[in-house]
């Protein structure tokens, strides 16, 4: 198995890099790409759904991004210790009827020695917003380096 740096134990700098790498992958909306950051037997809790293994992760993300259109995500490290990182995040998306939402949440991550995430626990709440209330304005894909983060946006 090849390493996926940065590797634990995490520093403030490497935890922030790991969170940004995760954000970039999720903003690609490429389920296969995203799944490669997780161990083959990774265990997730996402809201009330339990997912185990890369094939289930791919299936979950395919369903997610079929429903959550124009998805834009920002992650920010809350804390880190050893092989664990806690992040807070927000993402904006719309449904197929054109209704906009901002979803807020927290994730707890645990990594193996190769830098792959073996556990992911996510708690998420959805807030309906008006399109004019959106704060995440960049083309589909990676958030530009000069776009404000969550704290800068007051989120």
* pTM value surpassing 0.95: yes
Over the stretch 8-39, which tens digit does the pLDDT of each residue have?
A: 999 999 999 999 999 999 999 999 999 999 99
Q: What percent of the chain has pLDDT over 90?
A: 99
What is the Cα–Cα distance from 1 to 138, expressed in whole angstroms? Answer: 35
Asked whether residue 1 carries a pLDDT value surpassing 80, the answer given is: no
Q: Name the β-bridge partners of 110.
A: 84, 119
Closest CA to 20 of 152, 155, 144: 144
Q: Where are the alpha helices (DSSP H) in the chain?
A: 12-28, 31-35, 54-67
What is the Cα–Cα distance from 20 to 35, expressed in whole angstroms? Answer: 16
What is the Cα–Cα distance from 126 to 93, expressed in whole angstroms? Answer: 10
Q: What average pLDDT does range 80-90 have in this prediction? A: 98
Domains annotated for the chain, with CATH where assigned, are 12-133 (3.10.450.50)
């Amino acid at each position: 198995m090849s390493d996926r740096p940065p590797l634990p134990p995490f520093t403030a700098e490497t935890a922030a890099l790991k969170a940004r790498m995760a954000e970039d992958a999720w903003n690609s909306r490429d389920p296969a790409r995203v799944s490669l950051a997780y161990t083959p037997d990774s265990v997730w809790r996402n809201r009330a759904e339990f997912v185990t293994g890369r094939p289930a992760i791919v299936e979950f993300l395919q369903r997610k991004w079929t429903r959550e259109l124009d998805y834009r995500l920002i992650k920010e490290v809350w804390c880190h210790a050893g092989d664990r990182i806690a992040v807070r995040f927000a993402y904006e998306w719309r449904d197929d009827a054109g209704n906009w939402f901002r979803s807020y949440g927290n994730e707890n991550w645990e990594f193996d020695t190769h830098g792959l995430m073996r556990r992911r626990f996510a708690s998420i709440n959805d807030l309906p917003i008006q399109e004019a209330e959106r704060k995440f304005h960049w083309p589909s894909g990676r958030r530009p380096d000069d776009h404000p983060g969550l704290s800068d946006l007051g989120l």
